[in-house]
Structure 1
Amino acid sequence: MDRRNFLGLAASGTLLGAFGLSTPAFADLPSLRFRDMYSRGKDLSDEAIALEGQRIVMTGYMAPPLKPEINFFVLTKTPMATCPFCDDATDWPNDIVLSYFEGDMKFTRFSNLIRVEGTFDTGIETDGPTGFVSKVRLLDTSYTIL
């Protein structure tokens, strides 16, 4: 069993409960659901604004990367076979979150449900190398397959 699958079982409590251990540290982190991220249209909700700068947990799917050498993936509410690239922040969908990571990361299948941990960041930004425009991001992201 690879490390991500082991961590996914551990996160679900399957392995931890069998050994009488507590849940992982991210179980204590605040979580944000896609449906709670926005209040009206493209305005962030009070809940999302309050989480700015905090480590949070989100659950979703990893869209396929634009290209293999990038340092981010797009977290989506539903599985997407292609990357939902946006060229204008006014068109930023409310069901995706740009998720940056440090170092190397193994991408997973777009149909795998994942739990993502990262520092929640907001505001319109453009990724220099790709031109990807984002309105919300997770920084220093890690994930486990559920």
Structure 2
Amino acid sequence: MPFSVPSATKTPGYYEPAASAKQTAYYAPKDSQPFSTTTTEASPLGRPLEQTQSGQAWTGHTTRLSYASNTATEVRHWQGFDGTQFYPEGQLTKEISLDPDNRRTEVFKDQLGRVVLQRKVVASGAGWVLTIPILSTPMPATCSWSSRPRPSRY
């Protein structure tokens, strides 16, 4: 984290032998925690499990993350306007986060890492707010569009 160097005679890129101690002394009167922390899981993926923000005011207010996969009837697979099908169990990854105010957010991603569904608990806890992005697939090369107006049915 940067901090001011009192001497104007030092050139940019100057090596400061006691930089860590000077940095702590610089921030001590202002804030005892001038950095954020991240706790990661003990796996090769190294996904974050808990994050804190910088600043003494945020001590004890962490964002907690957990990971799972979808269940058989948890996420609808929209094809056109038909939402009667569901993604098969275990096909999507599910990231659950609890912010410092314990508001829950769930993000479902497909195998390509695209967000399929994001849902957040409503402030009253009575339901969910859903965000469903529209994922388009490339159109086949044989597809063509007509600029002629379609006849009306009425």
Specify if TM > 0.5: no
Name the TM tier (shorter chain): under 0.3
Higher share in helix: 1
With normalisation by structure 2, the TM-score equals 0.24
Work out which structure has the larger RCO, using CA pairs closer than 8 Å and 6 or more positions apart in sequence.
Answer: 1
Higher radius of gyration, 1 or 2: 2
